[in-house]
A = this chain, B = another copy of it.
Amino acid sequence: MENQLPLFYGLSFLTAALAFAFAAYLYLWVKKQPTQNERIIEVSALIKAGANTFMRREYRILATFAGVAAVIIFVLLPSPVWSGNILDNVSMALAYLAGTALSAVAGKIGVLVATLSNGRAAEGAQKGIKPAFLIGFRGGAVMGLLVVGCSLFGVAAVLMIVGDSSILLGFSFGASSLALFAKAGGGIFTKTADVSADLTGKVELGIPEDDPRNPAVIADNVGDNVGDVAGMGADLFDSNVAAMASALVIAQSLSGGALANVSMVFCYAILGLLASVIGIATARIGKNGNPTHALNSSTYVTTAVFLVLTALATLAFDGFSWRIWGASATGLLVGVIIGITTDYFTDDTRPIVQRVAHASGSGPAFTVLSGVAYGFISALPAMVGIAVSALVAYQLCDPLGEGYAIFGIAMAAVGMLSIVGMIISNDAYGPIVDNARGLAEMGGLGEETIRTADELDSAGNTVKAVTKGFSIGAAGLTVISLLGAFMSEANTALAEAGKELITGFDIMSPTVFFGVLIGAAIPAVFSAMLILGVDRNAQRMVAEIHRQFNTIVGLREGKTKPEYDKCIDIATTGALRELIPAGLMTIIATVIVGFIGGPMAIGGFLLGNIVSGLLLALFMSNSGGLWDNSKKYIEAGNEGGKGSEAHKSAVIGDTVGDPFKDTAGPSINTQITVVSLVSSLLSSVFVAFSLFG
């Protein structure tokens, strides 16, 4: 079998370039769309400036963090600088920095385009649903294409230059570090602003949502961008890189056919990107079309194109196995199924949301209790889906030889993430049209336009729930393959140290069990720290809003403008301050468990972390989504409508759900990936020193 790898490196760069070109085309298209309303231009500029402020400060802190981390990596990894090849250490540190940098660039440009699209989408909504939809969708697609393009380019470049896939873990850790900041920090920012704006505006002062007198209103809109666009993008960049990196680490360790398998990982990633390009390019909506339908059908197009293209590739190339194609297809299909079941629990045309809305009539305690209960139940189908896809992938690929079973699981994750370009496009569409709705209100574009914007926004909410379920599922499968990558790294270190290799992590071993129990507690503590962070930060912002209303003359009457930047500043400072202890806690816990129990305890720790992390992430994302939609369902006139007892209860449920679904829930993915990568990177250290290991 000849070496096809150079061909796939070339194709990877070519495809990434295609994605960048297409993104540039969409960017220019969006920019060309007209924008005239002065008020919208003004507010849109404020949102953009606020988002820039946050991202600049976030990236500054991150740069310090990444600098320190890069030095530590240089000194210690892949093996202490004094004992190994210094060039490897330089490569690892540079790969790490490249991971953070590429993710940061993608996030930065994504937010730039999103803040450019929101006002244009608002004005487009004056002309109807079709132009507004296209502006929102194409604005989001820029982010989708950039993320996938950057990850394919980065992974291919690092592997081509250094040739050793374990250096990729450094690149992946860079992506994770950034994702932790972007997702958790953005999540705290967005919910601080959202909760404070609602509490003071809607509840205390009785002014409508998005009222420009509210000092927190711009911060709230900024939050949509930094939390949902930059945060979600960084999260999926991270998952995508981690899935590819772990598949490549395992592929390189396979005896016989390693090169073909490495080629196959790239081939699948390339075809996934092409399928997303086709899905994005063909996204259409009729004049009075249904935007949810349009978003979902592009996802199905992408899925089908990917399955066909990879089947053709399997026919065309030597050494590409149908069994692995099957594993990958299973992963993708399970991802779609997880999305559909998530939709069942969070869509307001389905019974669950309606039941929670109905229970709200008996008081807020019942809103909370029924939401928690259905949130718990909603975790089951996704967990069964992940379990089944892992089992099927393993059984399919096991006959291919030693190590192929875990490779199959890694390829299921790659398959699930193949359409990530499309997923991010759909997801980034949400905050753009959410902003557009606010701008339409502030710009006084009239009832008709607001209604159009509302329809687009509602589609964004529904699709968001689906993409969240999808990204949690993808993270679940990815982390299983990271567990495989960890074992492979630990064994390299054990072999070098002349110790016995690990053949698995036996539950009956007390060190593994020790790790499992502690690992399971970490996502809960991490979530709690983020939730409490939002609480504390919101209290600070509420105090600031009160101060402004009490001291700024004419603010209440709308004659003077509030000091929006003060609120943005509080949200920014607080988010970064609250995030750091949570992030450090997870890293320190990993290090402590590793030093106590060694690689075996870490294996257990990762498992516990994955299992409870998946459960809590699904629970919190879904219950948050269903509370949000129950409130909207009641506001649409059901169960007594706005102002009823049921509505008051539903508002409380929604406030509880906000940090669940937009801060803690989606950050757990990143937390799991960070812990897995820290474990893999430090495996040689844990092999060298541990108490019971």
Contacts and interface: CB of A to CB of B under 8 A. Distances in A.
A198 to B, nearest CB: 10
Q: Which of A366, A376, A509 has the most CB of B within 10 A?
A: A376
A45 interface: no
Contacts of A528: 372-377
A388 B405 CA distance: 33
Contacts of A659: 369
A615 B614 contact: no
B518 A373 contact: no
Interface residues of A, number: 80
A508 interface: yes
B510 A483 contact: no
A390 interface: yes
Interface string A376-401: 11011001101110110111000000
Contacts of A384: 517-518, 521
Q: Which of A374, A487, A612 has the most CB of B within 10 A?
A: A612
Contacts of A390: 510, 513-514, 517
Contact of A652 (B359, B364, B532, B607): B364
B614 A611 contact: no
A383 B518 CA distance: 6
Interface stretch (A260-268, A277-285, A447-455, A499-507): A499-507
Interface string A493-527: 00000000001111111111111111011001101
A17 interface: no
Given A505-B506, A506-B506, A508-B505, A656 B368 contact: yes
Nearest to A505: B507
A684 B238 CA distance: 44
A483 B518 CA distance: 18
Interface in A341-374: 359, 362-366, 368-370, 372-374
Interface string A650-676: 001001100100000000000000000
A689 interface: no
A692 interface: yes
Contacts of A615: 520-521, 524, 612
Given A391-B511, A506-B504, A614 B377 contact: no
A264 B203 CA distance: 65
A652 B391 CA distance: 43
A419 interface: no
A529 B374 CA distance: 9
A240 to B, nearest CB: 22
A517 B607 contact: no
A587 interface: no
A564 interface: no
Count of this chain's copies in the oligomeric assembly: 2
Nearest to A392: B510
Contact of A370 (B359, B484, B532): B532
A161 B216 CA distance: 75
B611 A524 contact: no
A388 B510 CA distance: 9
A659 B370 CA distance: 11
A426 to B, nearest CB: 26
A406 interface: yes
A539 interface: yes
A395 B375 CA distance: 39
Contacts of A525: 376-377, 379-380
Contacts of A603: 507
A353 to B, nearest CB: 15
A383 B517 CA distance: 6
A519 B365 CA distance: 29
B383 A521 contact: yes
Contacts of A376: 524-525, 527-528
B524 A406 contact: no
Nearest to A511: B391
Q: Which of A487, A517, A518, A528 has the most CB of B within 10 A?
A: A517
Given A368-B368, A507-B505, A611 B516 contact: yes
A555 interface: no
A393 B511 CA distance: 11
Interface of A: 199, 203, 359, 362-366, 368-370, 372-377, 379-380, 383-384, 386-388, 390-391, 393-395, 405-406, 409, 480, 483-484, 487, 503-518, 520-521, 524-525, 527-529, 531-532, 534-535, 539, 542, 597, 603-604, 607-608, 611-612, 614-615, 619, 652, 655-656, 659, 692
22 contacts: A203-B363, A362-B539, A364-B364, A368-B652, A369-B655, A370-B535, A373-B527, A373-B528, A373-B532, A374-B528, A383-B518, A387-B518, A388-B514, A391-B514, A395-B510, A409-B510, A504-B507, A505-B506, A506-B507, A507-B507, A507-B603, A516-B607
Given A503-B506, A520-B611, 6 more contacts: A365-B655, A379-B524, A504-B509, A507-B603, A507-B607, A516-B611
Q: Ordered nearest first, which 8 A-B pairs have the shortest CB separation?
A: A504-B506, A394-B510, A365-B655, A373-B528, A376-B524, A387-B517, A376-B528, A505-B507
